[in-house]
Amino acid sequence: MAKRILIVDDEPRYLRLLEANLRTEGYEVATAQDGMQALEVFSTNPIDLVLLDVMMPRLDGFGATQRLREFTNVPIVILTARGEEQDRVRGLDLGADDYLIKPFSATELLARVRAVLRRAHAPVETGQARFFTHDNLRIDFARAEVWKGEEPISLSATEYRLLLQFAHNLGKILTSEELLTSVWGAEYKNDKEILWVSIARLRQKLEIDAHSPQHIVTRSGLGYLMPPTES
């Protein structure tokens, strides 16, 4: 069944260009011209991925990302202008899964779309045991559920896959390149920015104190690890 992609952009030429490229590759497409309209379309149509421009009237891309993350983990790719690093970081921090920098080629667009959909729908290796615990953190592999104490934690597909890398490699230092390749794909191995923001967001959700993490620890100049617990 064809994946349906929602394109949100207030520039008609970009909407037409994106829609044409995606339909050529066999995707179904829905469109919206601002964040408010995007929420309306999303509520009445099954959507597999959202391409979301940042600068729009009524409700911009940041506001739309924040609203969507209140009730769905659908993959979101934000579209930002070249050189606007703060926009990329802010979008990722609000829960976007990836970004594209305007102007971009059809090849780059389709590669990012395939990569994000692949991450969202690829099966996850769970190992033999159903449950994993690390101090107050618990993962139910069978249900893909994560708990901090008695509190369920909502993670995006990308955040969950990132957490699993640490759980499956307990006590092992993982380099940025290893994490990026394993979670995002080989084409992302040099994209440190997306890893930094994703780890920061994961710590905000999992740690009691994100500034003094216990589950995902940085080893300066080496990488990151989940340290073994004493018990």
Instruction: Say yes or no: 8 and 108 in one domain.
Output: yes
Other CB atoms within a 10 A radius of the CB of residue 143 amount to 8
Closest C-alpha to 35, from 11, 62, 15: 62
The pLDDT score that the predictor gives to residue 10 is 92
Q: Is the pLDDT of residue 86 over 90?
A: no
Q: Residue 144 in contact with residue 160, Cβ under 8 Å?
A: yes
Distance CA 53, CA 103 (A): 12
Residue 126 falls within a domain, yes or no? no
Residue 192 falls within a domain, yes or no? yes
Instruction: Say yes or no: 12 and 111 in one domain.
Output: yes
Instruction: Say yes or no: 23 and 98 in one domain.
Output: yes
Percentage of the residues of the chain whose pLDDT score is greater than 70: 95
| CB-neighbour burial class of residue 24 (10 A; exposed 0-12, middle 13-18, buried 19+) | exposed
Spatial neighbors of 50 by CB under 8 A, at least 6 apart, are 5, 6, 8, 38, 42, 68, 74, 75, 76, 77
Percentage of the residues of the chain whose pLDDT score is greater than 90: 71
Residue 231 falls within a domain, yes or no? no
Instruction: Say yes or no: 117 and 138 in one domain.
Output: no
Q: What is the pLDDT of residues 27-79, one digit of tens each?
A: 999 999 999 999 999 999 899 999 999 999 889 999 999 999 988 989 999 99
Distance CA 35, CA 143 (A): 32
Instruction: Say yes or no: 141 and 58 in one domain.
Output: no
Query: SS3 of 192, please?
Result: helix
Spatial neighbors of 36 by CB under 8 A, at least 6 apart, are 58, 59
Domain boundary among the residues 94, 121, 148 is at: 121
Q: What is the pLDDT of residues 160-219, one digit of tens each?
A: 999 999 999 999 999 999 999 999 988 898 889 899 999 999 999 999 999 999 999 999
- Joined tokens for residue 206: 């999992």
- Joined tokens for residue 231: 């018990």
The pLDDT score that the predictor gives to residue 128 is 65
Domain count, the chain: 2
Instruction: Say yes or no: 12 and 70 in one domain.
Output: yes
- Joined tokens for residue 100: 């594209």
Instruction: Say yes or no: 94 and 138 in one domain.
Output: no
Looking at the chain, which runs of residues are DSSP E strands? 4-8, 28-32, 49-53, 76-81, 98-102, 131-134, 137-140, 145-148, 151-153, 217-219, 223-225
CATH at 80: 3.40.50.2300
The domain of 215 spans 131-225
Predicted confidence band of residue 110 (pLDDT cuts 50, 70, 90): very high
Instruction: Say yes or no: 117 and 164 in one domain.
Output: no
Domain boundary among the residues 121, 154, 172 is at: 121
